Amino acid sequence: MSSHDKEKIPSHLAIIMDGNGRWAKRRGLPRVEGHRVGMEKIKDMVDICRKKGVKVLTLYAFSKQNWNRPRREVDFLMRRFEDYLDREGENLVKENIRFRVIGRIEELPLSLRKKIEKTMKMTEKNEGFFLNLAINYGGQEEIVDAVRKLSMMVKEGKISPQDIEVDLFKKYLYTEDLPYPDLLIRTGGELRISNFLLFQIAYTEFWFTPVFWPDFNEQHLDEALRDFSRRERRFGAIKGE
């Protein structure tokens, strides 16, 4: 990438990691094998993003709706999340990476929840890079949860309805203090957002690719970043102003 391109690296990159099951099916493998390989890609993508200059990476790992999948597949994913935390927890601390799970953590299996809480506590002071895994996440649910918190504050007299503006609302989202995503990538060929970061992506640039997540690599990311670098983000303003 040129030096000009590097000036326009997204500070916050969000990725919908889609296509694990289809990747496995095309190879005559069980769907869970696609998820296993997909989880292995996370560390690689973190390393690549850090090298490129990305500061925040948010990965859509498991949606609220994914509970409707076969029990065997769901159980496998929950175990893989635990394995990831067991394997990478100390490395996250060493690499100065702050780890956060966004979503309704309280609804996850107890053993996974404890490991998530432990890892978030271990890395809470890290500031070199921010990694968010969206697990049991839904964008609509995130907005509802923020509304509930703000409604309770109004009820308790801590704020008035007139105090509720975009900047205040943002503080009650799961991403709270983080910047909005600059670029959202979806792998796997689907052209939809699937209930991901609905509030945060108001002015986010989108990039879709047919490449399945297990096959997504640095070259594909470079293609997305080059495309992003050519875009003019106006945030509602007129070009050139």
Please answer whether residues 213 and 17 qualify as being in contact, where contact means their C-beta atoms are separated by less than 8 angstroms: yes
Query: Which entry of 18, 20, 132, 182 is annotated as an active-site residue?
Result: 18
User: How many whole angstroms separate alpha carbon 86 and alpha carbon 37?
Assistant: 17
Known catalytic membership, residue 215: no
- Tokens for 230, please give them: 């050519």
From 46, 41, 53, select the one nearest 1 (Cα to Cα). Answer: 53
Known catalytic membership, residue 217: no
Query: Which entry of 5, 66, 126, 215 is annotated as an active-site residue?
Result: 66
Helix (H) or strand (E) holding 9: none
Surface-to-core class of residue 128, CB atoms within 10 Å of its CB (0-12 exposed, 13-18 middle, 19+ buried): exposed
User: How many whole angstroms separate alpha carbon 241 and alpha carbon 66?
Assistant: 44
Kindly list the catalytic residues: 18, 66
